[in-house]
Amino acid sequence: MDVFKRETKEIVGCFLLHQISFAECLISLDDALASLMRRHPKENSPALCDLMLANNALVMREMERRGTSAGFPPPLSLAPL
């Protein structure tokens, strides 16, 4: 869990410093979680959930601050069937 915490802190820090894009940040966070799950398949603690929620909140707050031109994908248009 400590490795995951350190990795995700670094990933989010790089994103906040504009060193990686939104997409790269999401991919890196997903990769870090997948790596943790491979190492500790039964890891499902409240601390893990809290850390993931905190990371997501930081990333989304930064994306909102940057605005829609900063890399949010365009909204999906749903065509009638």
pLDDT tens digits, 24-68: 999 999 999 999 989 888 877 888 899 999 999 999 999 888 885
Average pLDDT over residues 5-16: 95
Tokens of 53: 């929620």
Return the H-helix or E-strand segment holding 32. helix 22-39
Q: Tell me whether residue 77 is in a domain.
A: no
Q: How confident is the model at residue 42, as a pLDDT?
A: 82
* CB-CB contact of 2 with 48 (8 Å): no
Instruction: Let me know if residue 76 belongs to a domain.
Output: no
Cα gap 25→59, rounded to integer Å: 8
Tell me if 73 is assigned to some domain.
no
In a domain, 75, yes or no: no
Do the domain assignments include residue 45?
yes
Provide the pLDDT for residue 71.
Answer: 55
For residue 15, the model assigns a pLDDT of 94
The answer to whether residue 15 is domain-embedded is: yes
Question: Which pLDDT value is given to residue 74?
Answer: 57
Domain that holds residue 45: 2-67
Q: Report the distance separating Cα 51 and Cα 12, nearest Å.
A: 12
Q: Is the dihedral of CA 45, 39, 53, 12 positive or negative?
A: positive
The total number of structural domains in the chain stands at 1
